[in-house]
Amino acid sequence: MISRRRLAGPLCVLALFALCHTAAAAEQGSTAPRPRVRLVATGGTISNRTGGRLTAEELVKSIPELDQYVRAEYEQFANESSSALSLEQWLQLARRINDLFRQDADLAGIVVTSGTDTLEELAYFLHLTVRSDRPVVVVGSMRNPSTLGYEGAANLLEGFRVAAEPASRNKGALVVLNDEINSAREVTKTDALRLQTFQTRSYGVLGVVDRDRVVYYRDVVKRHTAKSEFDVAAITALPRVDVIVTYQDAPGDLIKAAVDAGAKGIVLATAGAGATSGTQGEGIQYATAHGAVVVTTTRAGSGRIAARGGPVPERFGNREVSAEERQSFTQRVAGEDLAPVKARLLLMLALTKTKDPAEIQRMFTEY
């Protein structure tokens, strides 16, 4: 039988070796290079300080403890309100981000600042047009830098952390505000003023940014970014697509006017699960007869519009369905669960590739 005294010596040696190995590993981890993340600033409330907007450099310098997490880089793409940016600038921004990822294999991710009014639209556009599995994180703030309680620096810090996080890869464009991570496809602005405005109503957050780490709870299953078929490299302009809302006794002449003004697509924000009103049916027939693609979404804020299956009914109520109505119904595209403003973006990109309603329906199903 081996005595405790005879075991003490070897055990002490093993314990000392383990302690030294752990200390060395910790020292090695502390000196490992931090991931590089680039800020591409476009403006918005987050930079709209009284007396002059903050630059990309000033935004980075305002972030506390940033050096603990990343090696930050920055560039100024624009510096204005989100609603002032044009679709042409969006195309330029997507191309710039694609160029950055293509030219710099060591870049961990990109943070984009945006005004919150159209942030969800810009984020979804990048979700469809950035062709890399590395994260693009869109960040904004509800309060400006001259306001008590400005949360911009905190949101930026969390955006940089999410962009640097390896688990953020293959999730497409992400929206980070108020400690929460949402998918660009699903998130929407739900309140005009409150800090917790960006929410994913039906599905919940993708994850959270806590003091100790970035935590994900679910994944993004629809097509996006690296698997997207939309290449903006050669696109100089996007086709016009208008959004028209359904309300009681809505006139169809608004749809006709949009088509006559050059709209190649119409997104209807319908009542409930696809109901139109007034003479909108006539407007839809006019649109499809003139080659415009009509996509049906819901104004309800959540819910899915399913693609029509089976034959068009012979009658609606007490009247027969006309040949024009039949053709119109077969040419409509179901917008699935996309918000009207996001369905507009997908339809614009789809129309750069095809005008076939069946092919566009495939895209709405996959994206």
pLDDT digits (tens, 9 = 90+) for 65-77: 999 999 999 999 9
Q: For residue 16, what pLDDT band results from cuts at 50, 70 and 90?
A: very low
CATH (one of 3.30.70.60, 1.10.3720.10, 3.40.50.40, 2.60.120.380) for 240-366: 3.40.50.40
5 pLDDT more than 80: no
Mean pLDDT of the region 143-159: 98
* 200 in catalytic set: no
40 near 93, Cβ under 8 Å?
yes
Catalytic one of 22, 31, 45, 116: 45
pLDDT at 4 over 70: no
Residue 249, pLDDT score: 98
Assigned CATH topology for domain 33-227: Rossmann fold (3.40.50)
Question: pTM value?
Answer: 0.89
Contact 312, 332 (CB under 8 A): no
Q: So what's the pLDDT on residue 330?
A: 79
Residue ranges, CATH 3.40.50.40, the chain:
240-366
E strands in the chain: 36-43, 71-80, 107-113, 136-139, 173-177, 180-183, 188-189, 198-199, 207-209, 214-216, 241-245, 265-270, 293-298, 315-316, 319-320, 333-334
